[in-house]
Homo-oligomer: A and B are copies of this chain.
Amino acid sequence: MTADSKKEKIAEIKDEILKRVRPTAEEKTKLESVRKGIIDDIVRIAQEQGQCDIIPLSVGSAERSTWLHGNHDIDVFISYPEDIPFDEFHGRSHKILMEMAKTGDTWEDRHSEHPYIHITKEGFEVDLVPCFRVKSGAEIKSAVDRTPFHCAYIKENIRGLEEDVLILKQFMKGVGVYGSEVRTGGFSGYLTEILTIHYGGFENVLTRAADWKCGVVIDLANHQTLEHDHPLVVVDPTDPKRNVSAALSLTKFALFIDRARSFMKNPSPDYFTPKEYPPMSSEEFEKMMAKRGTEMIGISFQTPPKAEDTLYPQLFRMEKSLEELLERNEFTIVNTFSWSEEGEKSIVFIELLDAELPPLQKRAGPPVWNESNAETFCKKYKNNPNTFSFAIENERYVAEVPRKYKTAEYLIEDLIFKEAALGRHIRDSMKTGYDVLREKEIMEIKSESFWKFMNEKLTAQIEP
């Protein structure tokens, strides 16, 4: 493909994708009307309650004209003067939110550290978030106070590149790197917008990303402030201390580089559609495991009643910790991954080369000249009737002893509370009960989303 024909091809693809992702006129009108209704409600309720110093702010991708067709999210912030105390802030915002809840078709309290509610209205998903009206993104009083500055920055700088943001977002969705939740560890909407502005458009982002290496620094406002230990550092133009891509995992960073490079070599519309993994049947799973010849163990417990962004770091830490614990005991790990369903089970999976080890274990002790440790080691194993052999190899004592943990299952059952790093919420849940699942028990799981997930984990392919 010549450079020119490739350019043309990409232009064609962009057109084609835009047709799919650009919101329709009807969609825009609808959203505009719902959003206006919400802001009017807030103003009305605030006046009724005598809260005349609040200002409602529309801050979502709709406000920046970078929302994708079919995305029905509306974000409205309710800003308070920055000098009011937290107590007053909480009390007053609670009063407004409780009235606003009544205006929705449904609503739920979603606050964790920060108060906010989620309502649905005429098919839209609306987040209503109180915040402080601080002077700049660097002087925030609560984590959400930065968002209005982000919104303003993008609105001011995005001009003319709105559609490139749409294309880039859809590309990221298609290749599986979009979304900054912990579970995904991908690119946030704001990060996508910043990249588009910085490099000047969709193709430029991809061309440059194809050459990224770990440690890229992007600093639009030329803040040149803090060092960050992340694969990609994008200094927030509204807050010099913040890395916009702090939540981006190394895996998603690398995957984006691969996909960008691959697309720029062979542009195709296929990159814009996320790969779907159909649910595998338990018989397919059984056959696949026989073909792999590995052993799959799952540790299953009731999903703690926490948001995914709280739960997933704990699941990831548990995977890592079990991997280390098993490897210290000579098991060889192939993969670990976690599946979780709200209100149902969470399962941490460990795939092993072999779940059973021979009765003999060779233990290396301290060097001969570490006298006090040597004494302890010798006392334990030397002249012990169970010891197979006791010798010196290089500078160390070495004992061949009966293995305590011959199966991974027994090791997990015996050590999980004693030696694994369990997050507080997972530990609490497991204390009420947990199961160690082997192939047979895994086959009995009924959830369709589980079997999609398992198919993806066992047959993942980077395509095209």
Contact = CB atoms under 8 A, between A and B. Distances in A.
Interface residues on chain A, size class: 35 or more
A367 B409 CA distance: 34
A388 B459 contact: yes
Nearest to A357: B353
A324 interface: no
A143 interface: no
Given A257-B369, A389-B461, A460-B389, A330 B358 contact: no
Given A258-B368, A261-B371, A292-B358, A461 B395 contact: no
Interface stretch (A221-229, A248-256, A413-421): A248-256
Interface in A386-422: 388-397, 400
B359 A394 contact: no
Contacts of A390: 460-462
Contacts of A212: 369
Given A214-B395, A254-B396, A359 B462 contact: no
Stoichiometry (number of copies):
2
Interface in A17-72: none
B332 A250 contact: no
B214 A254 contact: no
Nearest to A403: B293
Contact of A250 (B382, B394, B397): B394
Contacts of A251: 392-395
Contacts of A462: 382, 390-392
A204 interface: no
Interface string A323-358: 000000010101100000000000000000110011
Contacts of A332: 330, 332
Given A390-B461, A390-B462, A460-B389, A360 B254 contact: no
5 contacts: A214-B395, A257-B368, A293-B360, A334-B362, A353-B358
Interface of A: 211-214, 231, 250-251, 253-255, 257-258, 261, 291-294, 330, 332, 334-335, 353-354, 357-360, 362, 367-369, 371, 374, 382-383, 388-397, 400, 458-462
